[in-house]
Amino acid sequence: MFTVIETPTFQKQVADVWNEADRLEFISFIAANPEAGDVIPSADGARKVRWTVAGKGKRGGARVVYFNVAAEEIVLLVAVYTKAEKANILPKEIKR
Q: Which pLDDT value is given to residue 95?
A: 54
Q: Which pLDDT value is given to residue 49?
A: 94
CA atoms within 13 A on the CB side of 40: 22
Beta carbons within 10 angstroms of residue 53's beta carbon? 18
Name the nearest CA neighbour of 91 among 51, 35, 39, 31: 39
The CATH homologous superfamily of the domain defined by 3-94: RelE-like (3.30.2310.20)
End-to-end CA distance of the chain: 27
Where do the structural domains in the chain lie, given as residue ranges? 3-94
Q: Which pLDDT value is given to residue 52?
A: 86
Name the nearest CA neighbour of 2 among 84, 79, 77, 86: 77
The pLDDT tens digits for 42-93 are: 888 899 999 988 766 556 688 999 999 989 999 999 999 987 665 566 555 6
Q: Which pLDDT value is given to residue 74?
A: 96
Helix, coil or strand: residue 13: helix
Run of H or E residues at 91: helix 91-94
The pLDDT tens digits for 15-53 are: 999 999 999 999 999 999 999 989 998 888 899 999 988
pTM summary value: 0.82
